[in-house]
Amino acid sequence: MGRSAARLWGLPLPWIWTPEEDLEIAVPLHLSAPRITGVRGRRLAARKIRYWTVRGARTVDAVAALFTCAAVLTLVETVVILDALVTEADNYPELGPGRPLASIDEIANRLQAWGRFPGSGTVRRAIPLVREHVESPKETETRLLIRSAGIAEPVVQYEVYDGGRFVARPDLSYPELKIAIEYEGDGHRRSKEQWRVDIRRQRDLEDRGWIVIRLTQADLDDGGAALIARLRRAIASRG
């Protein structure tokens, strides 16, 4: 359960794994939680969880993994994980088997069935912010950053066509303004093929009148001030 289960499912936790991290396990209500160094146990009602075998290990389902982490997650971190749970994208980094892992309705129903638990309020506030088709944690972080700045929320993974021919699918965009926002992770920098694809996609969009805003982790680390300012200028330039 908890972080251990979330890591098996490949959910985008905000913490880097270290060997010192406790193994978290769930036990039925009639048993005592183990008290062993390096192990953290939690008693859970059997009706609340479903068991899966993931990467060779028996674990709780992905929704229960989130719920048992929720107490120590911020709202943004919770939305990031929820977006990962509901995505159908097969290129979401490190995400475990199956797409989607859950639907928005299933998560809401499970939340109601679990009742109150540490972090349940955060999950409840996060559900309306969930969007489908997200392809990375940084897409979610960027979308929420833009939203928190009071700017209209961009569209996730909008497909751009020209005369019936597919042109590009920006991470985030304002289709009516022809503004695209692309997050460039380290994989884009290390892969020669990906770098070439990125350049061609940007050129194809700009040839069709789009403004393309490319950003990296540095643009998020400073609170996004430069990104937000550039986005505001782009929106203003469209009148």
For residues 193-224, one letter each, b for 16 or more C-beta atoms within 10 angstroms of the residue's C-beta and e for the rest, the string is eeeeebeebbebbeeeebbbbebeeebeeeeb
All residues at 6 or more sequence positions from 200 whose CB lies less than 8 Å from its CB, including other chains: none
Q: What is the pLDDT of residue 169?
A: 95
Q: What is the pLDDT of residue 48?
A: 86
Q: What is the pLDDT of residue 214?
A: 94
Using 50 as the pLDDT threshold, list the residues of the chain that sit under it: none
Domains annotated for the chain, with CATH where assigned, are: 2-132 (no CATH), 138-237 (3.40.960.10)
Q: What is the pLDDT of residue 189?
A: 52
The tokens for 47 are: 């009706």
137-148 and 75-86 helices cross at what angle (nearest 10)?
130
Look up the pTM and report it: 0.92
